[in-house]
Structure 1
Amino acid sequence: MLRMHFDIIDTLYSLPGIAIGLTLHEYCHALAAYKLGDGTAKADGRLTFDPIKHIDPIGFLFIVIAGFGWAKPVSFDPRNLAHPRRDRVIIALAGPLSNLALGIVSLFIVKLFSLAGIHISSLPLFAVYRTVFYVILYTATINLGLFIFNILPIPPLDGSHVFFSGMNLSKEKEARFMQWGTFALFALIAAERATGIDFIPIGAFVNKVVSLVL
């Protein structure tokens, strides 16, 4: 869904982008909630760029190995929000939009390499420029992928919160949607791995966009 096959070198290049992307994503959820009047995330110690506060070790390992994963979710209390429905959407979108911004900035930096006439393919495997280039390139592709993945309206992804904000569901019904949506999402990802079919070709789409820019 998010990634194709990575060898060990690709995996090493991808680690900074994954860590930064997940940390920034959850921090922006926390910041949005705090700015909108809810201090739950701040009280939980989530209003920080410390990756240890945000990254779930199992979720991180999954995204490295399987191409999907998760971080520690940021909690907020809608009772502290002036406009709960609207503010829920803002909080939900803050995370994915931070990944989009990071992806675009990283892609711009990668473009500067080619504009500067630096030919990465001609450099030794572990040359500094080559390493920096691929770390930034993977940061771009991973975070663009995280943006698209998280705005899908599938529970428990951020896009589902935007979807639910426009519906007058009871907490019980929404909880059931979240439960079944989570099951469906894992089933879809498992089916992709088992069949080799990219049912939601996020990785292929992102790679196409990146190739057009570069």
Structure 2
Amino acid sequence: MTFAATQRSRSEDRRISPVFWVLLGILGTSGWAVWAGYGNAPGFGVFLFVVAGWMVSLCLHEYAHARTALHGGDISIGAKGYLTLNPFKYANALLSFVLPVVFIIMGGIGLPGGAVYIERHRIRGRLKHSLISAAGPLVNVACAALLLIPVGAGWLDDAPGTAQIGPYEVTVLPAALAFLGLLQVSASLLNLLPVPGLDGYGIVEPWLSLKARRAVEPFAPYGLLAVFILLWQSQIGSWFFNLVYDITGAFGVSEGDIWIGQHLFRFWEL
């Protein structure tokens, strides 16, 4: 292969996918519609905005893992298509995008999604392995801050788009951002749990003994399932959501804003 061909191949490996551009287009268009109050169904606009925003954040989450792995020494990342922000390149599209959206619809919780296969044997140094695992959740943390700060600061309270909920007229865009911000906070917390199969465990795993890692390895496929059983079926779920609301509240975002956003998101119940 010639040098020019090699350069062209690398460029294609890192070219942003049309799928991601479509997601950004849906996010931008629905965001404008929600802000302007365009159309007679604000709830449907909120639904598109939240789903598109959530999927964009998942793409960025996985991109952060992949990009950090590339700089850490896994030069195979580009050939796998992980740097194109194409969600269909991830290891499991069902787990990456379908299930997270289903969980948002069912319970308003940010399910950690996406999966990129990293050839860990190419990477030297425990710190690099931890940084690769931490990169994804840090994207969710950044997204949460970017979404919640404008809402808490009241910068969007005068947006023209409004909706009638019972006897109250509410501004739609801050509510949509508040709900999407809550999803980012919940995803950040879940991903940072030191549970096998989640990024939090990936952060601490390189620092564990080989014996400990081998003992935990068989349970990795069931870690996420166990977490959600605990969240849905025990007091732990109440503690978790209280923590989520405490964090959103620290940004000045009220539970009422989030409830309105989730209520509008579930437009089929309006």
- TM (norm. structure 1) is 0.75
**Matched-pair contact (CA < 8 Å) for 2:152–2:253:** no
Please name the residue that 1:198 is paired with: 238
CA deviation after TM superposition for structure 1 residue 68, in Å? 4.5
Which consecutive unaligned segments of at least 5 residues does structure 1 have? Answer: 1-7
Max radius of gyration: which structure? 2
Identity %: 22
Please name the residue that 1:159 is paired with: 200
Against the structure 1 CA distance between its residues 187 and 137, is the aligned structure 2 distance closer, same or farther, given a 3 Å change threshold?
Answer: closer
- Give matches, 1:104-115, under 5 Å: 104-111=145-152, 114-115=154-155
Indicate the structure whose relative CO is greater, using CA pairs within 8 Å and at least 6 residues apart.
1
Q: Size of the alignment, in residue pairs?
A: 199
Please name the residue that 1:174 is paired with: 216
Please name the residue that 2:229 is paired with: 187
Please name the residue that 1:74 is paired with: 116
Q: Distance between the aligned counterparts of 1:130 and 1:39, measured in 2?
A: 47
**Matched-pair contact (CA < 8 Å) for 2:148–2:178:** yes
Q: Distance between the aligned counterparts of 1:44 and 1:152, measured in 2?
A: 27
- Give matches, 1:33-182, under 5 Å: 33-54=69-90, 55-66=96-107, 67-83=109-125, 85-111=126-152, 114-115=154-155, 118-119=157-158, 124-125=162-163, 130-170=171-211, 172-182=214-224
Which consecutive unaligned segments of at least 5 residues does structure 2 have? Answer: 1-41, 91-95, 165-169, 258-270
One-letter amino acid of the counterpart of residue 99, structure 1: N
One-letter amino acid of the counterpart of residue 34, structure 1: L
**Matched-pair contact (CA < 8 Å) for 2:148–2:253:** no
CA deviation after TM superposition for structure 1 residue 149, in Å? 1.8
One-letter amino acid of the counterpart of residue 188, structure 2: F
The root-mean-square deviation of aligned C-alpha atoms, in Å, is 3.3
Please name the residue that 1:19 is paired with: 55
Secondary structure of 2:77's match?
Answer: helix
One-letter amino acid of the counterpart of residue 143, structure 1: Q
Secondary structure of 1:28's match?
Answer: helix
**Matched-pair contact (CA < 8 Å) for 1:17–1:143:** no
